[in-house]
Amino acid sequence: MLGETRFIQETIRKLIKIIVPKHPIDIGKFTVRLLKDILLEHKDELGLDFDDIIIHPGPQPRESADIELIKGNKITGKINVKTAVSGDLKVALRRLVDTIKAGESGIIIITSLFYKNREDVEAKMIIIYMPEELLKYYKTSDIYDVILEKIEEKITKEGYKKVEFLALNEALELERTKLSVEAKEEASEAKKLAEEARDEAKKAREEASEGKKLAKEAKDEIKEVRKIVEKLDKKLDKLFDKFNIR
């Protein structure tokens, strides 16, 4: 029985693919549309073969799926996408299993906090890919346990201490807080730059004023020199006249 359980877990482990996009995603703007770029970037890691993707972010025709993979102008794969809105991975997995159609694989997106330490925390998305046969033939509880194990392995490999799943509203609030802090920091920096600009302008005005003052003093000195030269010329003229020198 133990051997059978291990075999099942290893089979599930091979079928589940987990990716964490390297760059933090703007949670406030995240939609299923962004999956196109992510899946194109990570298709080899996920074991998918396609050239393009068709996205159906809202309700789609009965025969369609949230995502359709295109290869050679033909639909070669369909993906049912579920977002763990409540932050509960098990609930999202059950919803996926309950709504999966024939010919569909599945993706679960869950917002998470990644901790390197108490101060160094990043908000990221975990994207879990599961092929059709996994969702169709294996128990949800077994799939869930292996997903948690693989997430733990993933975060350890990437240098994180722990991961904490978030409800989407918590993630959005976190994003708003982050944007608010960034806005305040930018405003503070802009104020600092404005003050520096004012100081530079004041300094330039003072230097210009000093320059004008020096120019006036130089002009006055030139006038005085001219007066002295004129006086010398007059004295020389008198001497020349006196001694009849020309």
State pLDDT tens for residues 27-58.
545 556 677 888 888 989 888 889 998 887 66
The arithmetic mean of pLDDT across residues 58-63, rounded, is 67
3-class secondary structure per residue, the chain = CHHHHHHHHHHHHHHCEEECCCCCCCHHHCCHHHHHHHHHHHHHHHCCCCCEEEECCCCCCCCCCCEEEEECCEEEEEEEEEECCCCCHHHHHHHHHHHCCCCEEEEEEEEEEEECCCCCEEEEEEEEEECHHHHHHCCHHHHHHHHHHHHHHHHHHCCCCEEEECCHHHHHHHHHHHHHHHHHHHHHHHHHHHHHHHHHHHHHHHHHHHHHHHHHHHHHHHHHHHHHHHHHHHHHHHHHHHCCCC
How high is the pLDDT of residue 91?
92
Q: Using 50, 70 and 90 to split pLDDT, how confident is the model at 121?
A: confident
Q: Does the structure show a pLDDT above 90 at 128?
A: yes
How high is the pLDDT of residue 168?
75
Average pLDDT, the chain: 79
How high is the pLDDT of residue 64?
79
